[in-house]
Structure 1
Amino acid sequence: MTTSFPGFPKELLRFYAELIENNNRDWFTKNKQRYKEVVVYPMCDFIEAMAPRLEAIAPMYIADARPNGGSMFRIYRDVRFSRDPKPYKEHLACQFRHQAGRDAHAPGYYVHIALDGVRFGGGIYLPPAPVLRAIRQSIDENPEKWRKVKADSDFRNTFDRIRGDSLKRAPKGFSPDHPEIEDLKRKTLFITKPLSSVERITQPDFIEEVDDAFQKATPFMRFLTNAVDLPF
């Protein structure tokens, strides 16, 4: 059984357009209730609607609709080590991570909404060294399975390629001539489907597009999940 979602309100787009022009605490304080009504609550509804869909795709991954501590990322930026003093993120995002994961560095499905682009897919972001090493070893030990993931027609037509920041040189223990060296050098591995228009998020079938992309990401997500010794 799936749950419908009417699409995000157009007011969400207006909110972020104004936030970009007024990224300061005074403006946000005045608009905090508006933020809850047009951003937080609709995102919670989206996550709740995705829960049974995600259950059908990857039952070990969690869609947590709580406004705090759930799948939705906080709007507050950590500016302690940043040259950018803006206190608020100018995009909306959520991650449906594996139930064994405790933070954003665990394998997860991802949705990113910003005025300059909307994308969704999955992967793993800057995993700890032991986790990244396990993924590299799995690619090295199962090259045919890895190539099959990338060669799948649904995968190629939906996501194009695997992305993520990379090392400049081959990681320790792997030859620079390894046939999968470009993926072995990655510190992050993710795939995303971009939308041509941000207005698509306001349509009732937006959730169907996310659902479809998550389904087509399954071989990639299964490989990553099993590589880090977790059940898919």
Structure 2
Amino acid sequence: MKVDKEVIQFLKKLRKNNNRDWFKEHKPYFDELKSAMEEFYREIKEGLSEDDEIEKMKFYRIYRDVRFSKDKTPYKSHFAGSLSRSGKSLRGGYYLRISPGESFLAGGFWGPDKEDLYRIRKEFEISDTEIREILAAPDFKKYFNGKLEGDELKTAPKGFQKDDPAIDLIRKKAFIAVRKFSDQEVLSPEFKDEVVLTFKALRPYFDYMSEVLTTDLNGVSTID
């Protein structure tokens, strides 16, 4: 299955006509596109499930929560979904957004809680050799330019040295790998397979982070 060009065309029109009257008029057409896109995401889940344990897929609603936003447009101009890995020992999540001119996939750790964030930072402080090797691996460089993205502090977090060799990683508050796609790539017949291949390139990173987040600093398991 591939993404139909009508998906991109509809989202472009929605971006220009982001109001309830226009959307109500085009709601039946939107529902058709939404059903097709949900199936597209399910096929991605099936592809990932061949090599990974996927617990669930979440396809996000088109409706925006505008209660606390300055932007009061009622609808998102994209389709998006995420896939969660199964069990306590498998960490990391997958995300894909289809948006005209702004499509991307991402995987990793968006907002680790306080304990997980500290554990990750301590691991990097002890040794950044393994994570550097993962980021420098051919597939990670091919798909993600060999780097992690996400918000970060301007200086060292409390309890860490600002001259630590791993400070560029320790400063981070999120640890996300991102790959962007053009509309032409999204509409390609190979796009679904390319998404799955790209997500699979995250496995060494996920395996490493899963090990870190399920053990203490002495390497002893913290899960039952």
Superposition deviation, residue 63 in structure 1 = 4.7
Corresponding residue of 2:163:
177
Quick one: distance in 2 between partners of 1:128 and 1:78?
Answer: 24
| CA spacing shift, 1:159–1:43, aligned 2, 3 Å | same
1:77 to 44, 49, 64: 64
Q: Can you list the C-alpha shifts for 1:9-32, whole angstroms capped at 9, x where unaligned? A: 111111111111111122222222
- Structure-to-structure mapping, 1:108-119, within 5 angstroms: 108-119=93-104
Larger radius of gyration: 2
Corresponding residue of 2:22:
27
2:40 to 42, 46, 53: 46
Corresponding residue of 2:220:
none
Runs of 4+, deviation exceeding 3 Å: none
Structure 1 unaligned segments of length 5 or more: list them.
65-70
Q: Is contact 2:84-2:94 (8 Å) kept?
A: yes
Q: Is contact 1:57-1:218 (8 Å) kept?
A: no
Corresponding residue of 2:8:
13
- Structure-to-structure mapping, 1:80-229, within 5 angstroms: 80-100=67-87, 107-160=92-145, 161-195=147-181, 197-229=182-214
Q: Is contact 1:162-1:191 (8 Å) kept?
A: yes
Q: Is contact 1:121-1:213 (8 Å) kept?
A: no
Corresponding residue of 2:218:
none
Quick one: distance in 1 between partners of 2:206 and 2:119?
Answer: 15
Q: Is contact 2:110-2:176 (8 Å) kept?
A: yes
Q: Is contact 1:167-1:187 (8 Å) kept?
A: yes
Amino acid at match of 1:24: N
The count of aligned residue pairs is 213
Length-normalised TM-score, structure 1? 0.83
What root-mean-square deviation, in Å, do the aligned CA atoms of Structure 1 and Structure 2 show? 2.1
Q: Is contact 2:84-2:92 (8 Å) kept?
A: yes
Amino acid at match of 2:68: F
Length-normalised TM-score, structure 2? 0.86
1:62 to 42, 55, 59: 55
Superposition deviation, residue 136 in structure 1 = 1.8
Superposition deviation, residue 127 in structure 1 = 2.4
| CA spacing shift, 1:28–1:99, aligned 2, 3 Å | farther
Q: Can you list the C-alpha shifts for 1:165-219, whole angstroms capped at 9, x where unaligned? A: 1111211121111111111111111112222x21322332111101111121111
Amino acid at match of 2:67: R
Quick one: distance in 2 between partners of 1:209 and 1:88?
Answer: 28
Structure 2 unaligned segments of length 5 or more: list them.
216-222
Amino acid at match of 1:56: E
